[in-house]
Amino acid sequence: MKLLIKNGRVIDPASQTDKTLDILIEKNKIVDIKTKISVPSAKIIDAAELVVAPGFIDMHVHLREPGQEHKETIRTGSAAAARGGFTSIACMPNTFPVIDNSGTIKYILSEAKKAGMVNIFPIAAITKGQKGKELSEMAELIDSGAVAFSDDGNPVSNSQVMRSALEYVKQFDGLIISHCENTDLSENGVMNEGPYSCQLGLNGIPASAEEVMVARDIILAEKSGARIHLAHLSTKGSIELLTAAKAKKLKVTAEVTPHHLILDDSSLVNYDTNLKVNPPLRDKKDISSLIKAVKSGLIDVIATDHAPHSLDEKAVEFDIAPFGINGLETAVSLLLDRLINNNTISLQRLIEMCSTNPAKILKLKNKGKICPGADADLTLLDLNKKIQVDVNKFRSKSKNSPFHDWKLKGAPAITIVGGKVIYANRSI
């Protein structure tokens, strides 16, 4: 079975390519890329008018299975990723049970295979049960398929434990992903601390809650020499710390989410629980600092922090609503609309953050690039497609999006994983 993608504008940051090319796929690999390929037996996808990018990789996703299948399952999460233009996702370990054992990893990988859509890469917990005390059995977890370690929403508060984790993973060049939050400073907080938390009477999460941990983790990474990835940075102060760390050539990488680039805390005035995220939506000066870092290349990755929750769980008082919003099916359109349409960044830069860099950071060898021999994971984008976000059309089980009804220009058109079309917004 051969698949021929014709006349697409191929953009591959890894090889600095940006031109109209044909791509030939055989089985699950890319076999040829040329100006004109003609294979009579191949099935043809006409990609004229489309951008062909290496498959997008979302390295920060909560799939909820096992344990909270009412929010999302591996199958619905895979379908959401496919519709959102993602070919690979890395899932966070805060499931029930926690991903701190090879059994849970095997379960996830086998369910992912059954779902048969996107590639799923489990991220294992740094500590057993994400309790911040004893390290999980990291070597075995890597052998079972874990691509990184994180305690995500339950950040490791004990600095000694964090230091050990970094020193320990260094021996196999493992990756620690840190959700930077000092929980003493963020205690009971539900939104950004500032004029709006004051006006709304809600407990604030100060920027310092993130920044002191960014500083700590950078220092510990430096001392240990291990790789650390800073998840969903949200403040100007964090960007300043990251700037300094990168200037010292430390092995620090960082991500931002689309919602932190687009929404600020003034949008919370109606106590909409679909705007309750952690880290919280910050203020306008934080946003402009994040955008600047995205433009300058300081930020390595854009990830969604896709955090599905059921309608009932969000239909409560703001204080007790869970943190998190649905991200997979809105991210690409938001990014195209808000970063590309107004020429904030180039397409090449966007693709670098959504595919090239996450593949490198997670060490996914044959992904994040378009070249002969690479996995045939491709994201095809329609830059001119006008959409209106409708949560009722989500393939995700949950609808907790603050972007419902938003009109956006640009959308994922076709998602190809391992040479198979798993999503298309048109007949092909």
Partner 1 sequence: MAFNQKHLLGIQSLSASEIITILDTAESLAEISLREVKKVPILRGKTIINLFYEPSTRTRSSFELAAKRLSADISNFRKESSSVVKGETLKDTILNLEAMNTDAIIIRHAFAGSPYFISTFCSSHIINAGDGAHEHPTQALLDAFTIKQRKKKISSLKIVIAGDILHSRVARSNVLLLKKLGAEVVLVGPPPLLPPYFSTLGAKIDYNLDRAVKGADVIMMLRIQLERQDKSFFPSLREYRNLYSLTRERFQNAKKDAIIMHPGPINRDVEISTDLADSTESVILQQVENGVAVRMAVLYLLLGGKEHEIAD
Is the CB of 270 or the CB of 427 nearer to partner 1?
A: 270
Smallest distance from partner 1 to CB 199, Å: 7
Sole binder of partner 1 in the list 35, 41, 270, 427 (CB under 8 A): 270
Is the CB of 107 or the CB of 318 nearer to partner 1?
A: 318
Residues 363-382 that bind partner 1 (CB under 8 A): none
Smallest distance from partner 1 to CB 274, Å: 13
Q: What are phi and psi of 395, to 5 degrees?
A: -85, -15
| Numbers of helices and strands, H then E, in the chain | 14, 18
User: What residue type is assigned to position 122 of the chain?
Assistant: P
237 lies in the binding site for partner 1 (CB under 8 A): no
3-state secondary structure of 155: coil
Residues 121-180 that bind partner 1 (CB under 8 A): none
Smallest distance from partner 1 to CB 418, Å: 44
**Active-site amino acid positions:** 305
342 lies in the binding site for partner 1 (CB under 8 A): no
* Neighbour count for residue 423 (Cβ, 10 Å): 24
Is the CB of 143 or the CB of 319 nearer to partner 1?
A: 319
**28: nearest Cα among 419, 291, 379, 360:** 419
Is the CB of 54 or the CB of 194 nearer to partner 1?
A: 194
Please name every residue paired with 127 in a beta bridge, in sequence order, or none if there are none. 135
Q: Site size for partner 1, by CB under 8 A?
A: 18
Q: What are phi and psi of 123, to 5 degrees?
A: -105, 125
Enter the DSSP assignment of 203.
P
376 in Cβ contact with 418 (< 8 Å): yes
Q: Which residue has the tokens 């698949």?
A: 3
Q: Which alpha helices (DSSP H) does 61-182 contain, by range?
A: 74-83, 102-115, 138-144, 159-170
Smallest distance from partner 1 to CB 317, Å: 4
40 lies in the binding site for partner 1 (CB under 8 A): no
Is the CB of 247 or the CB of 320 nearer to partner 1?
A: 320
267 lies in the binding site for partner 1 (CB under 8 A): no
280 lies in the binding site for partner 1 (CB under 8 A): no
Helix axis angle for 102-115 and 74-83, nearest 10°, is 50
Peptide bond between residue 97 and the one before it cis (omega within 30 degrees of 0)? yes
Residues 299-328 that bind partner 1 (CB under 8 A): 312, 315-320
Is the CB of 242 or the CB of 268 nearer to partner 1?
A: 268
3-state secondary structure of 38: coil
Residues 187-206 that bind partner 1 (CB under 8 A): 193-195, 198-203
Smallest distance from partner 1 to CB 252, Å: 31
Binding site for partner 1 (CB under 8 A): 193-195, 198-203, 270-271, 312, 315-320
